[in-house]
Amino acid sequence: MIDEVKVLRKRVIVSPLWIMPIAAAIISIWMIVNGHLNSGDDIKIEFESSVGIVAGKTPLMYRGMEVGKVTEISIAENRPDRVLIALRLKKGAEDLAKEGAAFWIVRPKIGVQEISNLDTLLTGAYIAVKPPSLDANNLLRLPKRNYFIGRTVSPSDDPCTDCSILTFTSSSKSNLKEGSGIFYRDFKVGHVSSIQLDHKLDKIIFKATIDSKFSSLLAHPIYLWKQKALDVDYSTNNLSIELAPLTGVLEGRIELGVLFDGKPNASEVLRLYSSDVEGKKEMMRLTGGKVVSFIIADNSSIKEASPIIYKQMQIGELDRFQLAKDGINITLQGYIYPRFSHLINKRSVFYTQSAAQIDTANFNLKLAAPERLMRGGIELMHATDDIDYGRSTRYPIYNSKAEAEQFLIGQRPGLRVILSANKKRSIEVGSPVLFRQFPVGDVEWIKLLPNGKQLQIGIYIQKEYQHLVQLGSKFWSASGVQASLSLSSGLKLQTESLKSIVAGGISFATLAQDTSAKAKNGEQYILHEKADEKWSD
Amino acid sequence: MIEPHLSPCTCRTCHLIFDKSEHQTRCPRCGDILKHRHFNRHHYPLIFLLTAFFFYFPANLFPIMVVEGIRGTTASTIIGGIIIFFKKKMYFIGAVIFLASVLIPLLKMIGLSYLLLNRDYSTISNRRKTKLYHFIEFIGKWSMIDIFVICIFAGLVDMGAMMRIQSGQGANAFLLVVLFTMLAVKFFDPRIMWDKLKDNEND
């Protein structure tokens, strides 16, 4: 019996089942080694407070991913006012713990303007990390650290390095605080990231972060202003009360304005202006734009912020109306974009273009572009001649192109004399003044004297012909056809140019013997009904 | 004592005792294959014990239960869980878990290896060996309580993002530990403990 047993025992030498403990050993060793390799470095971060942080639970998050876990919370060595949070990083996340990495605690934030990190209400606070660089090569080069000082606030709402930083100064902090929004056309484009007194303690330095997607705005000259909580404007026809958005009043709000024309002045430190107008004016000045003052009597056809147009191009824009000191006229300012600023000179004439123009003479109806109908605006016109009418500081705005032209006519250089006549005949404003049947000027105005007996006709002679008018010059009406019948000479038909027949005109001649003196402006002459024969030569 | 000329044998299935000297290969009552001993399998308990022993390390080092909640993921090892229970002054539950998950598998493995190593020469009496064997057999199934608890939790607590319980890597290893210790006990033929004694007596 026993022999049989011994034979059986010897027959099986190595069972294939021995593979099982070997496999178990290999699997276990692999699991342990792998698990050990997967747990990354231990780091320690100093914080002011560890409210909401739970050892063994609170994760370290990076872009929504858990990259580590708090292992222990203790009071910092030699710093009883601070706590030390020990974290274990996950494998592969060690690169986050390089010199310059920022750690901060994310807790729920509930404000008027924003409610953020709401998820942490339920999940509890977590620690966030921002690596010192997003470039893999830079990150590799940085030395490894295992001791960090935690931040009190996040470097920005979202860890981003391509955000632009704006620095600007102001004399008062008012209600601005870290996190106050920066708005461009009511879009939030960034926020104030830090507020500090400067070293001389005389002004406040603000640092703001502009989101990368709006950073293209910074390629233009920008200006910042602080919107007033309540803006009562009594200068316009209507009393206008503007209330800033309530959130802006509570949270602080900075407005960003952009001049889309011109290059930003890099050396200039931005200032926080108290109003849009002030900021825009200052930026216009800094970037080489021109601020033009206008004075108008009637602002019914102009809107605030209307464009200034020259040859169908917008070259600037108008600002707000303000009542002039005299209480009658209205002053307003316009900004001419830097690249058009050379267009504005003392010869510039501005007029409002009405939406529809009816030219009665030619039965020509002209409608402005729809956009212009909506926005209104003023046009710029240039005098052809070099006229100095000494009003370069404040430009009047004429109500129509015709008026502006009329004004320009009145500004032409040359001689102006007054003729008195007893009949108007066919003379009209604009009728030519002829010398040897050649037009040298025109009729500027006609008026009836208050006594009702005589008419006065103002005529203008071009500058280069002005010397032709002498004290002894004779003026006569050149309108129509003059026929005289005399026995001696028979029927005589005397005509001026065809144009003067139709339009009427005034001719003049200067007799050779009367070259005594040149006429002065405002010299008075008599308008003869017809020419003496000897004048005509 | 048993008659020396007889070769008594017990059927493992129906426990019929008869004389195997008639070269019977099958049980006359139930027809099961008859063997004096499972000698060709005497190394099975050792193999299973070793396998269980190797899996015992990851079972205790790796998290056995992973709780995914909105507060993040918490993974706890067996020891870690027991420490939490004790810290929260839930001594009874802590003790039960400690017994079922740490002590019992450990005792089982130690006891079984003792029995295996002392198969041929004995420092303790047969009675004690038998007692030890009964104890090991009795406590063996209780280790499964851990796996059972995890299975129930994983099935019940699945509330999506709010809370989810999953078994960790440690649970797999622990399951293997329990499984292989049970197999080891199952393949351990207690009769071999007494064979040597019988041989000694024969000598």
CA distance A415 to B173: 114
CA distance A132 to A103: 10
Residue that has been written with the tokens 């147009």 in this structure: A309
A27/B43 touch (CB, cutoff 8 Å), yes or no: no
Segment B126-178, tens digit of pLDDT: 778 788 888 888 877 777 777 787 888 888 877 776 777 888 888 888 888 88
Provide the 3-class DSSP secondary structure of residue A331.
strand
Higher pLDDT, B184 or A389: B184
B43/A35 touch (CB, cutoff 8 Å), yes or no: no
The answer to whether A394 touches A331, Cβ cutoff 8 Å, is yes
- Cα distances from A158 to residues A104, A253, B120, in angstroms, run 12, 20, 72
Segment A123-137, tens digit of pLDDT: 778 888 888 777 778
Higher pLDDT, A488 or A193: A193
Higher pLDDT, B52 or A430: B52
- Cα distances from B79 to residues A101, A334, B63, B96, in angstroms, run 35, 79, 9, 12
Residue of A10, A15, A28, A38 to mutate, testing the B interface (most B Cβ within 10 Å of its Cβ): A28
What ipTM does this complex have?
0.74
Q: Which residues of A255-287 are buried (b: 16+ CB within 10 A; e: fewer)?
A: bbbbbebbebeeeeebbbbbebbebbbbbbebb
- Using pLDDT thresholds of 50, 70 and 90, give the confidence band for residue A51: confident
The answer to whether A150 touches A103, Cβ cutoff 8 Å, is yes
**What is the phi-psi region of residue A9: left when phi exceeds 0, alpha when psi lies from -120 to 50, beta otherwise?**
alpha
Q: Return the ∠ at Cα A222 (arms to A218 and A225), rounded to 5°.
A: 130
Two structure tokens written together for A77: 């060595």
Number of CB atoms found within 10 A of residue A5's CB: 13
A28/B39 touch (CB, cutoff 8 Å), yes or no: no
Question: What is the pTM assigned to this prediction?
Answer: 0.45
The answer to whether A259 touches A282, Cβ cutoff 8 Å, is no
Q: What is the pLDDT of residue A143?
A: 82
A11, A28, A123 ranked by CB distance to B58: nearest = A28
- Cα distances from B116 to residues A516, B12, B191, in angstroms, run 152, 21, 12
Q: What are residue B157's phi and psi, to 5 degrees?
A: -90, 85
Segment A230-281, tens digit of pLDDT: 777 665 556 777 777 777 777 778 888 887 766 666 656 778 887 777 777 7
Residue B203 scores a pLDDT above 50: no
Segment A10-47, tens digit of pLDDT: 555 677 888 888 888 898 888 888 877 767 778 888 88
The answer to whether A110 touches A66, Cβ cutoff 8 Å, is no
Distance from CA of B49 to the nearest CA of A (A): 8
Residue of A31, A62, A70 to mutate, testing the B interface (most B Cβ within 10 Å of its Cβ): A31
Q: What are residue A478's phi and psi, to 5 degrees?
A: -105, 20
Provide the 3-class DSSP secondary structure of residue B20.
helix
Two structure tokens written together for A388: 């100095």
Q: Return the ∠ at Cα A235 (arms to A232 and A238), rounded to 5°.
A: 75
The answer to whether A315 touches A336, Cβ cutoff 8 Å, is yes
Contacting B with CB below 8 Å, chain A residues are 1-2, 5, 8-9, 11-12, 15, 17-18, 20-21, 23-25, 27-28, 31-32, 35, 54, 56-59, 66, 69, 119, 122-124, 126
Contacting A with CB below 8 Å, chain B residues are 7, 36-37, 39-40, 42-44, 47-48, 50-55, 57-58, 61-62, 70-74, 169, 173, 176, 180, 199
Residue A459 host element (H or E): strand A455-462
Question: Given CA atoms A118, A120, A121, A122 in this order, what sign does their dihedral have?
Answer: positive
End-to-end CA distance of chain B: give it in Å, rounded: 15
A31, A69, A126 ranked by CB distance to B58: nearest = A31
- Using pLDDT thresholds of 50, 70 and 90, give the confidence band for residue A68: confident
The answer to whether A440 touches A434, Cβ cutoff 8 Å, is yes
Q: Of A449, A345, A341, whose CA–CA distance to A388 is shortest? A: A345
Q: What is the pLDDT of residue A384?
A: 57
Residue that has been written with the tokens 């750690």 in this structure: A103
CA distance A170 to A165: 16
A28/B55 touch (CB, cutoff 8 Å), yes or no: yes
Two structure tokens written together for B115: 């029995």
